[in-house]
Amino acid sequence: MNTGSPSGKAYRYHRWLAHHHLEDCTNKCLVISGTYVCSRCAGLYPFVVVGLLVGLMWPVSEHMAAMLYYIGASPAWIQWASEELGLYPVDSRTRWVRFFTAWPAGWSLGLLLSGHLRVPWNPDFLNAMAVTAVISFLVLLASHTIRWLNE
């Protein structure tokens, strides 16, 4: 896995799971076979599948899955919010932080989703999704307000 900056004309600027602007890809993405892959997504999605399979084979209560989700997702939330609010640098050295903080977030999200598949729309699942949405909205609102005030 090459994580260095693109060099040479032969380099392809293909993106897979990379929703960042091309100029941000060198700081926020891993490069796998010449393709940008969002470092957080690369850590998150495989572990969602693992957590989902583990949760379906060895079920935990919906409440326990929600608690594990809050604990597991917190490092990724904190890192993301710190970046959004300008408290944490966004450079090529921090892509691994995004990658590794996504592992527990993915695993715990998979467990949470397994509970949702067993008991659709259970209150613990709905509460966890609501908390995620509210925290994300508040962080984005704060970051956009800070940018607007600094213009």
105, part of any domain: yes
27, part of any domain: no
Q: How far apart are CA 124 and CA 103, in angstroms?
A: 21
112, part of any domain: yes
Q: How far apart are CA 23 and CA 36, in angstroms?
A: 11
pTM for the model stands at 0.81
103, part of any domain: yes
- Whole domain around residue 109: which residue ranges? 40-150
- Report the number of distinct structural domains present in the chain: 1
According to the model, what pLDDT value does residue 14 have? 59
According to the model, what pLDDT value does residue 47 have? 96
Q: In what order do the strands lie in the sheet with 14-16?
A: 14-16, 35-38, 29-32
17, part of any domain: no
137, part of any domain: yes
Dihedral over Cα of 45, 47, 76, 111: its sign: positive
According to the model, what pLDDT value does residue 4 have? 46
107, part of any domain: yes
According to the model, what pLDDT value does residue 19 have? 67
pLDDT, one tens digit for every residue, the chain (151 residues): 444 444 443 344 555 665 666 777 778 888 888 778 888 999 999 999 999 999 999 999 999 999 999 999 999 999 999 988 988 878 878 889 999 999 999 999 999 999 999 999 999 999 999 999 999 999 999 999 998 998 8
Compute the chain's Rg from CA coordinates: 17
Six-digit token pair at 94? Answer: 């921090």
Six-digit token pair at 84? Answer: 């959004």
123, part of any domain: yes
According to the model, what pLDDT value does residue 73 have? 96
According to the model, what pLDDT value does residue 144 have? 92
